[in-house]
């Protein structure tokens, strides 16, 4: 009986160590995919700080291209809510080359998307899009439930009402998602100024920072 105590303690310590490693949430290009959630034309004028969400999506998809990270896009009931906002990509050809999945399920994790993600074989997902409290939240929870790391770009997600966005971010953090910013995620993916595409991503970052960030402005009030 006494011998079982230290063994049990060791098992608990090992489990805690494994959990701690998993909870760090480091990003690497080879294990990461980006998910652009339902940034569609009909929603664009309705979303709180919607133009910043679009600009951030453009930055993130450009970073993805520079670092060879796959991007997956969904559109919620396209017939009603329209196509993906073209400005979410720096070049039209990049949008056209990106897999776009039609859905009515609020979560991105439809059978088609789940099948596509399984082929990508990634364990970390960077998410940006709308609405934070519906499609973004439900997608993140589905991915977390399957044991994936989920990183929410806080300057790239929003809802029609600020309160819905705020509570959704709290809810996602409580569920185990990592809240981060676009620039933080981009530089974590590179890890070093010696990364071969550091100059390209730095240039994208400088250009992105010249644009007005409505979330920053809101914090200054």
> Which are the catalytic amino acids?
38, 103, 135
Cβ atoms of 19 and 54 within 8 Å: the answer is no
- Alpha-carbon distance of 33 to 118, in angstroms, equals 11
Q: What is the CA radius of gyration of the chain?
A: 19
H/E stretch holding 13? helix 4-23
Quick one: 201 exposed, middle or buried, by C-beta within 10 A (0-12, 13-18, 19+)? buried
CA 203, distance to chain mean position in Å, is: 21
- Alpha-carbon distance of 17 to 19, in angstroms, equals 5
- Alpha-carbon distance of 194 to 176, in angstroms, equals 31
Cβ atoms of 151 and 27 within 8 Å: the answer is yes
Cβ atoms of 66 and 91 within 8 Å: the answer is no
């Amino acid at each position: 009986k006494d011998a079982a105590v230290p063994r049990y303690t060791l098992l608990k310590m090992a489990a805690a160590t494994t959990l701690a490693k998993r909870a760090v949430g480091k990003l690497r290009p080879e294990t990461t995919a980006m998910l652009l959630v339902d940034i569609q034309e009909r929603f664009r004028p309705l979303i709180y700080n919607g133009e910043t969400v679009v600009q951030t999506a453009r930055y993130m998809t450009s970073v993805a291209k520079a670092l060879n990270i796959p991007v997956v896009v969904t559109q919620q009931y396209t017939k009603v809510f329209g196509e993906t906002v073209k400005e979410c990509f720096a070049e039209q050809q990049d949008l056209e080359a990106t897999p776009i999945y039609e859905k009515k399920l609020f979560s991105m994790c439809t059978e088609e998307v789940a099948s596509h993600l399984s082929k990508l074989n990634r364990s970390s997902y960077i998410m940006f899009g709308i609405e934070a409290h519906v499609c973004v939240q439900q997608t993140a929870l589905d991915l977390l439930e399957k044991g994936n790391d989920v990183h929410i770009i806080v300057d790239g997600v929003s809802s029609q009402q600020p309160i819905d966005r705020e509570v959704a971010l709290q809810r996602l953090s409580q569920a185990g998602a990592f809240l981060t910013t676009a620039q933080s995620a981009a530089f974590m993916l590179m890890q070093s100024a010696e990364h071969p595409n550091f100059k390209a991503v730095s240039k994208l970052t400088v250009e992105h920072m010249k644009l007005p960030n409505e979330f920053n402005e809101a914090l200054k009030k």
